[in-house]
Amino acid sequence: MEEREVVCPENIRRLPTYSEVRKGILEIGREPVPLSKSVSRKALVKYSTRVERVFRYVENHLLARLREVREVLNIPFYRELASNAVPEGVDLLNTVGRLSGKLKAIRKLYREYRTRVLSSIDRLEAEELYREYVGRVLSVVRRLSRDIELLNSAVDELRKTPCIDFSKPIIAVAGLPQVGKSTLVATISSAKPRSSPFPFTTKEIVLGHIELNGTTVQILDLPGILDRSPEEMNRIERRAFIALTTVAQVIVYLVDPSEDFYYGFESQLNLLKAIHSLVGQKVVVAVNKVDKVSDERLTRVVEALMEVVPGAKVLKISALRKLGLEELLSTLRNFLREARPE
């Protein structure tokens, strides 16, 4: 099978703001234009060259970057994440299209003013036309400032997202904050997420890789999600929610069985029920930190989990002590084998 090129949102560039564009174009006007002695009507050639430089600036710093953003937004998962950073109802692909259409008008201005500058009767007319051209270009960019601001908010969100290869399997590790997601991902994969005793340490999606069934599998360490509706989630939680509902083939739902768990066991049951209702049978439930609770407590926790997800296999692990991880990996192999189309 031919491998597709992986689109990396973390590599896309922000669009320059109006003030940045203005500064860049004014610098172009101060740059020398070297001309050979054989060139006639040097002033006209100098200003026509500057007209072209301004146009190339817009091409390279605005239109080229818009093409990069469009390529990323054409992938539904990234588009969902980007929409997480802008007001509800903003269609980012439409925004890109609108910006591209307006900025392409600068190409028409370039052709018009280059011809007019080269047809000037003297240096003063050429200079005046150049200034007029710059003013019109900046006027176009200034009118697009709001759209550029919106798109840059989306770009900032996307740049926090790792490069995911959608042709390879994806496992997501989910759960409430502080259940040990980062510790598990760091233990079984190449990822090195930061763990901490404080909630919401993981604010972005962290990507790692493991080998299962002879295939490189991607594993996502997701930010913690609280027991509440998607409408009540903050931006960090929504990142995790989007990954769970759009790209994960298998979800490892991690549970802390401790009686003194800050968010409570009931919240973990409620969130599991909500995730299971959204994604169906692709949830693997893993009770973490089993070394910290009694067998009696563990039995009650497992029974409660199986009531929420009837028929599910509930695994007992300790990511920190590396207990039960072989069984977890074996279960994931079976899930992926069944999920993979023949």
Minimal CA–CA distance to 218: which of 171, 253, 167, 175?
A: 171
Residues 289 and 311 in one domain: yes
In this structure, are 125 and 233 located in the same domain?
A: no
- For residue 326, the 8-state DSSP code is H
CATH code at 296?
3.40.50.300
Note down the domain range covering 225.
170-339
Same domain, 242 and 328: yes
Label residue 5 exposed, middle or buried (CB < 10 Å: 0-12, 13-18, 19+).
Answer: exposed
Q: What is the pTM of this model?
A: 0.87
Q: What are phi and psi of 172, to 5 degrees?
A: -115, 135
Pair (18, 140) in one structural domain? yes
Non-local CB neighbours of 320 within 8 Å, separated by 6+ positions = 180, 183, 187, 289, 291
- Asked if the structure places residue 33 within a domain, the reply is yes
Share of the chain above pLDDT 70, in %: 93
pLDDT score for 265: 94
152 and 194 fall within a common domain: no
Residue 228 covered by a domain? yes
8 A C-beta contact, residue 206 and residue 220: yes
Tokens of 199: 């909630």
What is the C-alpha separation between 283 and 281, in angstroms, rounded?
A: 6
> Looking at 100, 127, 158, which one is the last position of a domain?
158
Q: How far is CA 183 from the centre of its chain?
A: 23
Q: What are the pLDDT digits (tens) for 257-294?
A: 999 998 999 999 999 999 998 888 789 999 999 999 99
Same domain, 224 and 335: yes
Q: Identify the domain boundary among 108, 123, 158.
A: 158
Q: Are residues 238 and 327 in the same domain?
A: yes
Convert the pLDDT of each residue in 13-28 to its tens digit.
999 999 999 999 999 9
Name the residue with tokens 């710093």: 61
What strands, in cross-sheet order, belong to the sheet with 283-287? 206-212, 215-221, 170-174, 250-255, 283-287, 314-316
Specify the higher pLDDT residue, 44 or 95: 95
Average pLDDT score over the chain: 90
Residues 47 and 133 in one domain: yes
Least trusted range by pLDDT, from 112-116, 171-175, 198-202 = 198-202
Does 4 map to a domain? no
How many CB atoms lie under 10 A from the CB of residue 99? Answer: 23
